[in-house]
Amino acid sequence: MLPTLSYLLLLIPMIATVAILCAPSSLAKWIATIGSLATFFVAIGFAWMFPAWTDGTFAPTDATIPLLPSLGISLSFGTDSVGLLLVLMTAFLMPLCMIGSFTAVTERTKEYFAWFMALEAAMLTVFIAKDAIVFYTGYEFTLIPMYFLIAIYGGDNKRVASIKFFLYTFFGSILTLSGVIYIAAQYKIANGMWSFDLSTLTDFCSTKMSAPQQYWVFILLMAGFAVKVASFFPVHTWLPLVHDQAPTAGSVILAASLLKLGSWGVYRIALPAAPIGGVELDQIFAILCIVGILNAALICWVQNDAKKLIAYSSVSHLGFCMLGMFSLNAIGVTGSIMYMINHGLSTGALFLCIGMIYERYHTKDMDQLGGLFRRMPIWSFFMVFFTLASLGLPGLNGFIGEFLCLMGCFTAEPQSVAGYPGVLGPWYAIVAGLGLVLCAMYLLMMLGKLVWGPLREPASAAHHGGDHGHSGANPGATTHSSGGSAAQHASVTESSAQSHSALPADLNAREIGILVPLAVFCLAVGFYPKPMLDVIAPSVERLLAPYPSLVAEYVAKGTLMPRDDDGGGMASITPVQGQSTLHANSEPPLATVTTVRESVGQ
Amino acid sequence: MILSIASAAITSAVLSSSSADPIAVATLIKPAIASPELAWAGLILCFPALAAVLCAVCGAMRVKSKLPGMITAIALIAAFVTTLSLYLTCHDGATTTARTIHLFDWITFAWRGESGDWTNFLAPFTLYVDSLTLLWMLFVTGLGSLITIYATEYMEEDQGKGYVRFFGGISVFLFAMGTLVLGGNLLLLYLGWEGVGLASYLLVGYNYDRPSAVAAAKKAFIVNRVGDLGLAFGIFLIWLNYGTIEYDALFQALADTTSSAGTTAANASEWSKAAIPYLLMLGAFGKSAQFPLHVWLPDAMEGPTPVSALIHAATMVTAGVYLIARTYPLFELQPLALPVVACIGCFSALLAASIGMAQYDIKRVMAYSTISQLGYMFLGLGVGSTFGASYHVFTHAFFKALLFLCCGAIMHGMGGQLDLRKLSGLRHVKGFRVTSWTLLIGCICLSGFPFSSGFYSKDTIIGAAFASDDPLFIFLGWVAIVTAGMTAYYAFRVWFRVCCGEVLYEPDLAAHAAPTANDAHGHVAPHDSANSQGGHAAHDFHPHGPRFAINGVLLVIAVGAILAALPSYLAEFAHQQNWIQSMVTDSSAVAGAGSSAHDAHAEHANHALSFTGISDIHTATSVVASAVGILGICIAAFFHLTNRKAADRLRHALLSNALTRWLPLAMENKWYVDEIYHVVLRLPAWAIGHVLHFSDAHVIDGFLVNGTARIPLHVARVFQPLYNGALQGYASTMAGGVALISAWVFWIWLQAG
């Protein structure tokens, strides 16, 4: 049953893609909605049947279709509890995005919805792939739908954005692919046969490959993932541009799921495959995270464009997520995963909110637009709500991940009391913690401009607002000043109401219907995160098994790389045998990894 | 000289505190009893939460009546009744046993640590009920109900507009405050901590049309965030050192540490233990508006007056005192922590009182007075008198709420006027009698007039400072006495100006201009609801006195403010044990080392106040402090009752003298703290933000990323001329290539040779 469901999870969006292309374009949005809802229900069914919630293993184990047996490539699917949470999040958001796009897209709707369904299939593939080639195929295939979604439905600068998005992330993933192939080639040399099974490769790399090899493999793997997750300092610049230009639903999916492909890659491949590299480079990546957090936060603070602000806030927030991941202890990694899910929902919701005002005013410029509480109280309620969730207000979902990530980083000291020594520590957390203050500053600045204050509407687009209380009392308003005659005013209103897509001043039932499930989720997770924490824990424990002893060794010796004086320098030349010198005095990680692998049953 | 005294004092404080036996701290805190049968106590939180949800429903249904206000008032009264019955249940006879009530799991998870001491992080949604909790909850829910009833009338002009939002915010606040106080672990306290910050943000920014209100709301939240960060790091360190953040387990872990090398982490470093109280302090000072994080509170007066009374005077700002009282054993472990609390509290008290003396907006006077009184509470905590601090919290909650509500009543009836230069003789204006006399009661309590409630609570604190033989504390005690005189001066300055003298009033014209403009828009008047009285021009302005709900609540709270002294009366004249004292000493806030030390020293005759000829230190303090207070009242009477011109003359005299000019200017301009922060913190951050924004777009993206992307293009350009189709070009290229290869081969040959 479970294998069937895992195939269905990918087949339904694919079938929906084909169906949309074949059906008349008036049906496109309905097929997409039904298709994504069906995917969501299948995902729920998959989660319902999922046997590995509490033991951190991958399931199903038998969903494998051999493709190229001689090369060890097969279509094999299966995921653990963390991957399943990401699947659920993606499948949950997709119908909301589709419903949210009903009026936003008026031209070439068929392609629009078809590309989204294809994108969903590709993303879900990544989250449930057990084969490196399948993983990589899905990972890269997400670029194509996203490229077209930006290039066709984007803003004024869409060509540059789409090309930059494609080339930048593609360039990174090529390096990731080369890393994977290098591991596979080493596996072939050692074992005489090919395999692209992810667990096999990561186990092989982590236990059999030398320290310098793991070091470089980690760099190669991270090259792609770091670009994708966009929270490390110099490789984030594509994200704000792309968010700025992407259509609303594209931004939602980009923030919620596409960026998580990167963090999922780190979690699924980079950290398990190359623990030595992970430990060795831990501080560098953490510093890049922290620089990314502060850099993006300060940039947010001087933004005028609401969507860009949220895009940069995404960079800053995911910096916390990755900082939690790189703290390499149970608290930080658990927090990191909570952050992945919750960031997807609250930031996704914020992008939806911004999209809703963009549909009405055709601007996101906070200098032109502001004080919308007066015009759109319901929208403002949701905007404030999701901003607070994003701000990390306790009681809403964002807090849990943020707090645990920061705590994980804080407690990642060499002499840890929690059983997971780390190489970060309080100073990293204190500097990163400044990001929380800055986060309050820029998000409240955004609320202060966009929601509160005197009403300001752009002159050209004000009549999209529908309700025409005139704004003579507001000096900032450039609309129909008090001099205009009432009759003329009224006629303008009517004609514009007819010619435009009849969106009311405030949100309509469809839009409220999209935001309410998200808000309910935010509140529910904020007050009862226990189920999620419970299912994350075993998976995290599996990931972290080799780390404590490696970190302890790193702390004791200052590096895990072989030094010239103990002859380990040869390790980089004689690959597979090199591990003997390195792991001679670090038996525990080997043992733990082996036992975990046995418990996985592969 | 002052500095040298202070530094000498700090040194001696270290010596005296460190010599105290820390075992006394821990053994006094009894383990809590798990009481699942008391789960109904959760209703205290459920009622306001339910009210918030119902308010949201009212908002969605566009209810235009007073229904949301009624719902909130009823919910809060229900919460108060529940708290009262919880008190009666838990208070068996003389003592109150601490109880924990587990409601549900919140953030709890465990891991299989390899060799770690701690293998779980537990922050369940558990209530920790002891007498300190109950004391706080009683006045929070009690005053919350009363002020909500007051607000149903005060906010009535906003029905159908902001009414729902206002009461929704109040409900959220009460929920968060309840969680803060009742929560059984520090993370739950943190939830309430940020939750009350949210409520404060929403309610300060209630008049969202006014940019100043929006800015004030933002400022309050952000300044608090700085404190919250300190609190968060404090929580991390507590967990690192003791492996738990639940109060009950934490107190037991502390007991174990002090008695034997118990359950604390063996390898936790010393600094991490030492830093805990300072980080918690940062949180407490943020929430309780103490220097250097006090700047948000005066601005928060942009909120409607009931909000100022409830949140920014009576309840939320005392959360910092609660935090330190709750974690008092942690502070006692560090010899320097409590003196620092005392110094900062005392300094804030003095600073704020000096600003309060020079403000003209009566609400702002009250705001600075709140900072100043909170400073007293921290002084009390710092000198080891948790009882004094908690008692002052209790009395202050009543009289400061009363003072704010009186200001609100004046504002409500006087067209938003708050400038004490433009209000006079309200005592004689019809409808303002109750307000005037209740304001007087508030001022008497605030200035610590003998036998008022403020007198007892303040003198407990000052007496505790003098009871110590520590020169630092005695110095702080003198500062506190001077501050008491200043307090009496500014309190009665307000009363003499506003309520006495010839009748004179005018509405706030600036506040009136706004609603007329806004009326055309058919929207909420931005300057409190008082403005909806708008349309009155100054010449035919008729003040309207408050009606039943406001007057009733003023009277009830005035009685409360008087009766807040009752525990002391009973203690003094009927020789019963002070009720508040027994509440505090039953809890974790009991001062172990500190209070026992000062009790011992209380008998000493060689105390700092020996010139009074009174041997009992507390009596001597009372006499001196009251005398200074009465002196302050007399000065206020001279300048503001009998001889108002003299005040202006004094100000002009000071301003015209170059040497003294700075004093009135600094006091009126809040010692320029805001300006300093603006220049030192905000401007650099803003500039860096712009630089980074530029560099992100042009250096990182424009140069590095796009530059890298252009490399293939440029490389191609370099070689492009070679492929121009001209034969001689190809020939010369080939020749060059051959030459290069030959050179390379030759070089290798040389190397090999």
Mean pLDDT lowest among A302-306, A432-436, B466-470: B466-470
A517: preceding bond cis by omega (within 30 degrees): no
* Greater model confidence, B257 or B469: B469
- Interatomic CA distance for residues B324 and B285, integer angstroms: 10
Last residue of a domain, one of A544, A561, A589: A544
The predicted pLDDT at position B169 comes to 92
The predicted pLDDT at position B713 comes to 81
Q: Are residue A434 and residue A554 in the same domain, yes or no?
A: no
Scanning A429-448 for CB atoms below 8 A from B yields 429-430, 433-434, 436-438, 440-441, 444-445, 448
- Interatomic CA distance for residues B137 and A301, integer angstroms: 39
- Interatomic CA distance for residues A7 and A17, integer angstroms: 16
Closest chain A residue by Cα to residue B216: A448
- Interatomic CA distance for residues B618 and B598, integer angstroms: 11
Residue at A191 is within a domain = yes
Q: Are residue A266 and residue A241 in the same domain, yes or no?
A: yes
Name the CA dihedral angle for B714, B719, B725, B726, rounded to a multiple of 10 degrees.
120
At A68, list the tokens.
């190229």
Residue at A493 is within a domain = no
Mean pLDDT lowest among A2-11, B97-106, B168-177, B568-577: B568-577
**pLDDT, average across residues A112-120:** 92
Q: Are residue A514 and residue A596 in the same domain, yes or no?
A: no
Q: Are residue A156 and residue A230 in the same domain, yes or no?
A: yes
pLDDT at A598 over 60: no
Q: Are residue A536 and residue A554 in the same domain, yes or no?
A: no
Mean pLDDT lowest among A493-507, B268-282, B721-735: A493-507
**pLDDT, average across residues B336-352:** 91
The predicted pLDDT at position B508 comes to 67
Q: Residue A398 in contact with residue A439, Cβ under 8 Å? A: no
pLDDT at B457 over 70: yes
Domain that holds residue A556: 547-600
The enclosing H or E element of A68 equals strand A59-68
The predicted pLDDT at position A470 comes to 39
Which among A101, A131, A112 has a CA at the least distance from the CA of A195? A131
pLDDT at A587 over 90: no
Contact A393 B198 (CB under 8 A): yes
The predicted pLDDT at position B614 comes to 66
Contact B693 A302 (CB under 8 A): yes
Interface test with A, best of B102, B103, B106 (most A CBs within 10 A): B106
The reply to whether the predicted model has a pTM over 0.80 is yes
- Interatomic CA distance for residues A202 and B494, integer angstroms: 75
A113's torsion region: left (phi>0), alpha (psi -120 to 50) or beta? alpha
Q: Are residue A141 and residue A252 in the same domain, yes or no?
A: yes
φ, ψ dihedrals at B592, nearest 5°: -70, -80
- Interatomic CA distance for residues A43 and A5, integer angstroms: 8
pLDDT at A572 over 80: no
- Say which DSSP state B32 is in: P
pLDDT band at A565 (very low <50, low <70, confident <90, very high): low
Query: How far does Cα B203 stand from its chain's mean position?
Result: 15
The predicted pLDDT at position A464 comes to 46
Q: Residue B264 in contact with residue B257, Cβ under 8 Å? A: yes
pLDDT tens-digit readout, A388-422: 999 999 989 999 999 999 999 998 888 777 778 88
Query: How far does Cα A568 stand from its chain's mean position?
Result: 39
The predicted pLDDT at position A120 comes to 93
pLDDT band at B517 (very low <50, low <70, confident <90, very high): very low
Cα-trace Rg, chain A? 25
The mean of the pLDDT values for chain B is 81
The predicted pLDDT at position B257 comes to 66
pLDDT at B612 over 70: no
The predicted pLDDT at position A289 comes to 92
Residue at A496 is within a domain = no
CA angle B91, B92, B96 (to 5 degrees): 50
- Interatomic CA distance for residues B568 and B470, integer angstroms: 27
Contact B187 A395 (CB under 8 A): no
The enclosing H or E element of B248 equals helix B247-259
The enclosing H or E element of A73 equals strand A73-79
Residue at A65 is within a domain = yes
Scanning B324-343 for CB atoms below 8 A from A yields none
Considering CB atoms only, which of A298, A393, A419 is closest to B688?
Answer: A298
Please report residues of A whose CB lies closer than 8 A to that of B517: 472-473
Percent above pLDDT 70 for chain A = 86
Percent above pLDDT 70 for chain B = 85
Considering CB atoms only, which of B105, B112, B121 is closest to A541?
Answer: B112
Residue at A383 is within a domain = yes
A562: preceding bond cis by omega (within 30 degrees): no
* Greater model confidence, A245 or B592: A245
Closest chain A residue by Cα to residue B697: A237
Q: Are residue A534 and residue A555 in the same domain, yes or no?
A: no
- CA A228 to chain B, closest CA, distance in angstroms equals 15
Residue at A178 is within a domain = yes
* Alpha-helical runs (H) found in A528-546: 530-544
φ, ψ dihedrals at A147, nearest 5°: -60, -45
Total domains present in chain A: 2
B261's torsion region: left (phi>0), alpha (psi -120 to 50) or beta? beta
**pLDDT, average across residues B228-238:** 92
Count A/B contacts: CB-CB distance under 8 Å.
195
- CA A222 to chain B, closest CA, distance in angstroms equals 18
pLDDT band at B94 (very low <50, low <70, confident <90, very high): low
**pLDDT, average across residues B310-335:** 89
The predicted pLDDT at position A521 comes to 92
The predicted pLDDT at position B706 comes to 81
Q: Are residue A299 and residue A329 in the same domain, yes or no?
A: yes
* Greater model confidence, A233 or A186: A186
The predicted pLDDT at position B753 comes to 64
The predicted pLDDT at position A588 comes to 42
- Interatomic CA distance for residues A434 and B225, integer angstroms: 10
pLDDT at A568 over 60: no
- Interatomic CA distance for residues B528 and B747, integer angstroms: 89
The predicted pLDDT at position A404 comes to 93
Q: What is the 3-state secondary structure (H, E, C) of B529-578?
A: HHHHHCCCCCCCCCCCCCCHHHHHHHHHHHHHHHHCCHHHHHHHHCCCCC
Scanning B679-698 for CB atoms below 8 A from A yields 685-686, 688-690, 692-693, 696-697
pLDDT at A503 over 80: no
Contact A237 B701 (CB under 8 A): yes
Interface test with B, best of A417, A431, A437, A533 (most B CBs within 10 A): A417
pLDDT at A578 over 70: no
The predicted pLDDT at position B198 comes to 93
**pLDDT, average across residues A28-36:** 91
Contact A394 B190 (CB under 8 A): yes
Which value does ipTM take for this structure?
0.85
The predicted pLDDT at position B603 comes to 44
Q: Are residue A104 and residue A189 in the same domain, yes or no?
A: yes
Q: What's the Cα-to-Cα distance from B344 to each of B284, B319, B348, B379, B393, rounded to whole Å?
A: 11, 16, 6, 8, 17
Closest chain A residue by Cα to residue B221: A440
Mean pLDDT lowest among A65-74, A424-433, B638-647: B638-647
* Greater model confidence, B727 or A426: A426
Q: What is the 3-state secondary structure (H, E, C) of B416-461?
A: CCCECCCEECHHHCCCCHHHHHHHHHHHHHHCCCCCCHHHHHHHHH
- CA B105 to chain A, closest CA, distance in angstroms equals 7
pLDDT tens-digit readout, B8-61: 444 444 444 433 344 444 456 777 888 888 888 889 999 999 999 999 888 888
Which among B127, B438, B178, B491 has a CA at the least distance from the CA of B315? B178
Last residue of a domain, one of A515, A544, A573: A544
Cβ of residue B521 closer than 8 Å to a chain A Cβ: yes
- Interatomic CA distance for residues B414 and B411, integer angstroms: 5
Residue at A469 is within a domain = no
Mean pLDDT lowest among A260-264, A437-441, A566-570, B245-249: A566-570
Q: Are residue A555 and residue A440 in the same domain, yes or no?
A: no
Cβ of residue A599 closer than 8 Å to a chain B Cβ: no
**pLDDT, average across residues A52-62:** 84
Amino acid occupying residue B274: A
- Interatomic CA distance for residues A358 and B411, integer angstroms: 41
Contact B689 A411 (CB under 8 A): no
Query: How far does Cα B145 stand from its chain's mean position?
Result: 20
* Alpha-helical runs (H) found in B617-753: 617-637, 644-656, 662-668, 673-677, 683-694, 706-719, 727-752
B416's torsion region: left (phi>0), alpha (psi -120 to 50) or beta? left
Residue at A459 is within a domain = no
pLDDT tens-digit readout, A337-379: 999 999 999 999 999 999 998 888 888 888 888 888 888 889 9
Considering CB atoms only, which of B111, B226, B267 is closest to A417?
Answer: B267
pLDDT tens-digit readout, B246-282: 988 888 888 776 654 444 555 556 778 888 999 999 9
At A401, list the tokens.
């991940």
Q: Are residue A304 and residue A435 in the same domain, yes or no?
A: yes
Please report the DSSP string for A75-86 in residue order: EEEEE-HHHHHH
The mean of the pLDDT values for chain A is 83
pLDDT tens-digit readout, A379-390: 999 999 999 999
Q: Are residue A243 and residue A113 in the same domain, yes or no?
A: yes
